Amino acid sequence: MRYIVIIIGAVLVNNFVLSRFLGCCPFLGVSKKTETAVGMSGAVVFVMTIAAAVTWLLDRYLLQPFGLGYIHTLVFILVIAALVQFIDIAMKRFLPPLHAALGIFLPLITTNCAVLGVAELNLKNGTPFLESVLFAFAAALGFGFALVIFSGIREKLAHANPPRCFRGVALALVTAGLLSLAFMGFSGLVKTPY
Amino acid sequence: MVAIWIAIGVVAAVGAVAALALGVADRYLAVQEDPRIGLVTAALPGANCGGCGFPGCDGYARALVAGTAANGACAAGGEACAAAVAKILGVEATATERRVAVVHCCGTRSNAIRVGDYNGIADCSAAAAVAGGDKGCRFGCLGYGACANVCPKHAIMVSDGLAKVDKRLCIGCGKCVNVCPRKIIELVPAKATLHVLCNNPLRGPEVRKVCKVGCMGCHLCEKNSGGKEAGHFTFDGFLAKVNYDNFPTDAALVGKCPAKCIVEDAHFESGH
């Protein structure tokens, strides 16, 4: 039950993009086509889950023993960046089909605030290991969910004929705002610290 | 003071371990790619038009090097490109004839009647879905520019309700051919100068009702180009078609077409 609450909380109630406003850059950047949005979502799920696991272990077994909690942001960025590079190389060697699908999105998401945000939130809330990883996975799923919905709307909007001053990014931002408002409807669905 | 040194030491150690891991990975996990892939990719035009049927020039280059694709499928690069690729791969170049798209319709707004007033989404497929479009002729160009929108080289321009292809800019990728709901765009040899700009196979009177310049299937073009034996034209119902395997070159045919739908060089040439 606890795990279900975490998933619903991270995907719908406290959606990373639409209510925490983390990861807005890829949200606006790669949402023009549903196809690329799905690829990006896959990469985000992959990176965020692994990053959450590694940063949790790093914090518990390296930073805390040395009393270095105050530089965790620096260390996290360093490790996540290196880790994604490593995964990129390893995936190219061992899982070429997966690399072909996610490859170009992996470097894009490396130092994204959503990735760092999930590590920070886990740290702040003092979540146990398994829940941290699950939370990261669900948060990334929520990100992908929002991204795919948004890209679907933008694909439809490409055929619309809005006033000139609204074309392009302006319309995308207004759409994102409305989507965020729509997700506000989920608030209060579950009580969750995350 | 000690705390600072510990912090510096830990961060440096983490950085060093990460760097070492990446270095080792780069050394021992590196994928040995055929160096020819890069060379072939560089020799291709890099337009990523997809005309060869592969996802981008890189995909085609990989297939070429792997030997699963025939050289010469790149219409954009043409013969020069095929020759360059052949040189890299060490195989004979197969000659590719440059092909360009042509829109088989000349029903401008003044020539072809409109039977409705369409105010929907400005897209040919959408217009065609609404009771078959607003054009009286069910076979002609709708003029909402689905082809122009999909063209990677911006070689198609819609003017006066009719799409036209710039012969010089067209790379023959065939995207417009696929997107046109009326299927009136065809890839033809760039050397062909005469085209029948009509796609309506119905009888003359029915064509005349909707268009002043529609082909009525009178066979005069065939007679004037040496008869059926010469084989410059084929007929589909009451529609003349240029046989592009044996295309006519006699410019006098243009004036002899009573419907005025045989046109010399249908391609407009834009200013750029």
DSSP A67: T
Q: In whole angstroms, what is the distance from residue A74 CA to residue B11 CA? A: 8
Give residue-wise pLDDT tens across range B100-149.
899 999 888 888 888 888 888 888 888 888 877 888 888 889 989 899 98
**Would you say residue B94 lies in a domain?**
no
**Would you say residue B18 lies in a domain?**
no
Give residue-wise pLDDT tens across range B147-168.
998 888 888 988 888 898 988 8
Residue B268 pLDDT exceeds 70: no
Q: Does B121 contact A66 at a Cβ distance shorter than 8 Å? A: no
Please state, as a whole number, how many other Cβ atoms lie within 10 Å of the Cβ of residue A85. 18
DSSP count for chain A of H helices, then E strands? 10, 0
What's the average model confidence in pLDDT over A60-80?
Answer: 87
In 3D, which of B126, B137, B117 has the Cα closest to residue B184? Answer: B137
What's the average model confidence in pLDDT over B54-58?
Answer: 75
Phi, psi of B158 (to 5 degrees): -105, 120
For residue A170, the surrounding DSSP H or E stretch is helix A169-184
Residue A174 pLDDT exceeds 90: yes
What DSSP letter does each residue of A4-64 carry, written as one string?
A: HHHHHIIIIIT-TTTTT--SHHHHHHS-S-HHHHHHHHHHHHHHHHHHHHHHHHHIIIIIH
CATH number at residue B62: 1.10.15.40
Nearest CA in chain B to A84: B22
Whole-number average pLDDT of chain B: 83
Is residue A189 a contact partner of residue A12, using CB atoms and an 8 Å limit? Answer: yes
**Would you say residue B29 lies in a domain?**
no
Whether residues B168 and B249 fall in one domain: yes
Please state, as a whole number, how many other Cβ atoms lie within 10 Å of the Cβ of residue B236. 11
Is residue A4 a contact partner of residue A111, using CB atoms and an 8 Å limit? Answer: no
Whether residues B71 and B120 fall in one domain: no
Whether residues B67 and B122 fall in one domain: no
Q: Is the ipTM of this complex over 0.90?
A: no
What's the average model confidence in pLDDT over A73-85?
Answer: 88
**Gap from B127 CA to chain A (nearest CA, Å):** 13
Amino acid (1-letter code) at residue A21: F
Nearest CA in chain B to A159: B121
Q: Among A75, A85, A160, whose Cβ lies nearest the Cβ of B22?
A: A85
Whether residues B42 and B71 fall in one domain: yes
Distances (CA, A) of B52 to B55, B57, B60, B179: 8, 9, 7, 16
Residue A134 pLDDT exceeds 90: yes
The tokens for A50 are 């692994």
Q: Does A63 contact B15 at a Cβ distance shorter than 8 Å? A: no
**Would you say residue B2 lies in a domain?**
no
Give residue-wise pLDDT tens across range B166-213.
888 888 888 899 899 989 999 888 888 889 999 999 888 888 888 988
Domains identified in chain B, total number:
2
The residue range of the domain holding B55 is: 35-89
What's the average model confidence in pLDDT over A19-24?
Answer: 86
Mutating which of B14, B62, B118, B150 best tests the A interface, going by the most A Cβ atoms within 10 A? B14
CATH number at residue B190: 3.30.70.20
Q: In whole angstroms, what is the distance from residue A148 CA to residue A31 CA? A: 7
The model's pTM is 0.55
Please state, as a whole number, how many other Cβ atoms lie within 10 Å of the Cβ of residue B244. 17
Whether residues B119 and B232 fall in one domain: yes
